Amino acid sequence: MTRSLLPGLSSLRPDAFGAEPSGERLARIRRSPNFADGTFQNPVGARVGPVGSKIEFAKLYFAKEQRLRRAPVGTVPVHPTTLADLAKPPASGLRLTWMGHSSVLAEIDGRRILFDPVWGERCSPFAFAGPKRLHPVPVPLAALGPVDAVVISHDHYDHLDMPTIKALAGTDTVFAVPLGVGAHLEHWGVPADRLRELDWHESTKIAGLTLTATPARHFCGRGLRNQQHTLWASWAVAGDEHRIFHSGDTGYFPGFKDIGEAYGPFDATMVQIGAYSDFWPDIHMTPQEGIQAHLDLQGGPHGAFLPIHWGTFNLAPHPWDEPGEDTFAAGRRAGVTVALPEPGQPFEPTADTLPVSPWWRGVAAPASDAARSASGDTGKPRSEPVGEPGQPEAAPVA
């Protein structure tokens, strides 16, 4: 059984920590084929905490010039999307609006899905500490209009935001979440009958769409004690005419090919390409790995690729603009169609024209030769994979 906090400390537990699974939910977790030795298991081995020398990490993270390059030097352009823009149906039947980081509004075959909505100012359990937004939310949550489903990839703060969930709990939307994550949502006021809690390869029907939780290589946790009792997932969504994929957070692993063969091909993939580091190589992908994941999912350079999990929060030592630049370059080398919308800019992945301009260049800090050398940024494609913030995301002030 899970161990509760001491009574004197329970009242001090931030509401944003959520709740541990219990009762039938915990029993179902223990019956999962992906749960063993008291925790959920990754599809392939993964180190979930920082690896290597903490001293070397501190040198890199706190070096002055490297620190300056982790944030934009000007105002990040945010597309002036209006309610009228979103109210007009997409001509192709499929439209994506990247709201920043991993939050995406997907309009697919007449239905609307919101992936990993984070409208809070910080990805943290505390309003006064933790990574702060580098740009404003492009569209107020209330201006989105009705949403048929909210899909959550896992319970880290930059993907599961309590204030956003509480706001959405007052609507009629249905929530699709990985196994165990429903405990947090119920704790924050989401009725149990509006929860669809799935293990990997389980599917649910919402508003005529088929949503399937698919494997990912990551980890979970919100509180002081990480029990690994909530699952992490990528998601495949299929409508009558279109299919899309959202990676959530994941390290690269061979299973992308299997996901593509079982649930694809996809008209668009939304894949994590930011917050990587040599100090956490197994649980986040580099841009090069993200492009390879797209190729695996699609069986080649087909469909549109939307890079996510970058540009909004500072979660890793790499420069703020590096994920965009490296994805831009890696996509060209691989012949992949990479969509590069400004935050809040709607686009139709199957249209003849897509947003492809490197919009971040006007607000990115230039790198000196010394800074490039320190970060390994030589201007050439990286040959070695790198990875993610294990502790910063899972720790209470991440």
209-214, strands of its sheet edge to edge: 203-206, 209-214, 234-238, 243-246, 268-272, 304-308, 337-338
* SS3 (DSSP) at 39: strand
Q: What is the DSSP string of 179-236?
A: TTTHHHHHHTT--GGGEEEE-TT-EEEETTEEEEEE--S-----SSS----S---EEE
Identify the pLDDT of residue 96.
Answer: 98
Question: In sequence order, what are the residues at sequence separation of 6 or more whose Cβ sits closer than 8 angstroms to the Cβ of residue 382?
Answer: 286, 288, 326, 376
Number of alpha helices (DSSP H) and beta strands (DSSP E) in the chain: 12, 16
Residues 114 and 297 sit within 8 Å (Cβ to Cβ): no
Tokens of 257: 């090919």
Res 376: pLDDT: 39
Q: Are 57 and 264 in contact (CB under 8 A)?
A: no
- Quote the pLDDT of residue 208: 97
Confidence (pLDDT) at 375:
39
- Rounded CA gap, 327 and 356, in Å? 11
Q: Which pLDDT belongs to residue 135?
A: 96
The whole-model pTM stands at 0.89
Which DSSP category does 126 fall into?
Answer: S
Shortest CA distance to 263 belongs to which of 336, 306, 209? 209
Q: What is the mean pLDDT of each run of 10 residues along the chain (398 residues)?
A: 42 82 96 95 87 71 71 93 88 97 98 98 92 95 94 97 97 97 97 98 98 97 76 98 98 98 98 94 96 98 98 94 97 98 97 95 71 39 33 32
Q: What is the pLDDT of residue 225?
A: 63
